[in-house]
Amino acid sequence: MRKRSTMAIRESLAFYGFISPWIIGFVCFTGGPIVASLYFSTTNYTILARPEFIGLGNYRTLC
């Protein structure tokens, strides 16, 4: 195995440093709402009460 040079390690760290804000933004502003909508679509949710898990019942009433 070849040992990685110091320059290659610094370039890798710079790459991950520059790409990390995009990844964090993607997870927070895209991935988070997708997961939340999947969760709320499988619950009986009203604002005043806790969500009650009903599985695919909401999708059954659509058909």
Helical segments of 27-63, H only? 32-41, 57-62
**Which residues, at least 6 apart from 40, have a Cβ–Cβ distance to it below 8 Å?**
51
| Predicted local confidence at residue 19, as pLDDT | 97
**Which residues, at least 6 apart from 43, have a Cβ–Cβ distance to it below 8 Å?**
51, 52, 53, 54
Tell me what the mean pLDDT of segment 4-17 comes to.
92
Tell me what the mean pLDDT of segment 18-30 comes to.
94
Q: Which helix (H) or strand (E) holds 52?
A: strand 52-53
The larger pLDDT score, comparing residue 58 to residue 29, is at: 29
pLDDT tens sequence across 36-61: 999 999 999 888 888 899 998 888 88
